[in-house]
Amino acid sequence: MVGNIHSLESFGTVDGPGIRFVVFLQGCPLRCLYCHNPDTWEKGEGSYRMTPEELLEEVMRYKSFIAKGGVTVTGGEPLMQAAFVREFFLLCREQGIHTALDTAGAIWTQAVRDALDVTDLVLLDVKSIDRVQHKELTGAKITNTLSSLDYLEEKQIPTWIRHVIVPGWTDDDHLLQQLVDFLKPYRCIEKVELLPYHTMGTRKYEQMGLQYRLEGIPELSTERLKRAREIFKL
């Protein structure tokens, strides 16, 4: 089995607890308007093709640095390569390495469930709680994301919710409260991370000859982020 890998980061600090080795897998079925990694969209081979064993060997070079953190697999949408993720995480488990999976829950198959079953922590990106807006933002229905969250609850897999707050879109007090109310019953959720919209990825669109569809949307203000945190009581 071989995984298509976009890139590797040996010292990640924002993708789960502690210092983490971050694996960016190639390919994503979503086309989020604010995506800052459009270069991960296409399936392709990415920059590297590695077996789970080869990837673990790379990780082990940094084991002392990530001893209190672990490994995070992200993308793209890593669950496009769910079987690879599962095999890699099983190897990490044998070595006592904590695993985290950063996913939008965009794919819902048995292979995905098998991968979730061996994951220590899921960072679940909820793009919008409004079904219509979710489709407009991502190009996909919210159904699979909600199925993923229900499964995480059923199996009591530790989960962090991530939510990007975009001016003119998800930056709305009513929608934020709606999300709070929706998430409240889920006991698997340990933490909610509210991420302010930024424009740091727009240069990639220029380099790739792609139109950035949120051009002109300002970055989220400190005041609005503070208000969102108040709504979530963070």
167-186: average pLDDT:
97
Higher pLDDT, 81 or 205: 81
Alpha-carbon gap, residue 81 to 177, rounded angstroms: 34
* 209-224 pLDDT, tens digit each: 889 999 989 999 999 9
Residues 6+ apart with CB under 8 A from 30: 77, 104, 106, 138, 139, 140
Are 115 and 10 spatial neighbours (Cβ–Cβ below 8 Å)? no
Which of 94-108, 110-124, 174-188, 201-215 shows the lowest mean pLDDT across its residues?
201-215
Residues 6+ apart with CB under 8 A from 77: 25, 27, 28, 29, 30, 103, 104, 106, 107
111-135: average pLDDT:
98
How many structural domains is the chain composed of?
1
pLDDT at 45 exceeding the cut of 80: no
Token couple for 214: 């949120």
Q: How confident is the model at residue 85 (pLDDT cuts 50, 70, 90)?
A: very high
CATH number at residue 171: 3.20.20.70
pLDDT in the model for residue 65: 92
Are 168 and 191 spatial neighbours (Cβ–Cβ below 8 Å)? no
pLDDT in the model for residue 47: 87
Which of 44-53, 80-89, 187-196, 200-209 shows the lowest mean pLDDT across its residues?
200-209
Residue 202's H or E segment, with its range, is helix 202-208
pLDDT at 199 exceeding the cut of 90: no
Domain that holds residue 22: 3-232
Residue 22 phi/psi, 5° resolution?
-110, 130
Q: How confident is the model at residue 206 (pLDDT cuts 50, 70, 90)?
A: confident
CB atoms inside a 10 Å sphere around CB 71: 28
| Complete DSSP assignment for 111-180 | HHHHHHTT-SEEEEE---SSHHHHHHHHSS-SHHHHHHHHHHHHHT--EEEEEEE-TTTT--HHHHHHHH
3-state DSSP call for residue 204?
Answer: helix
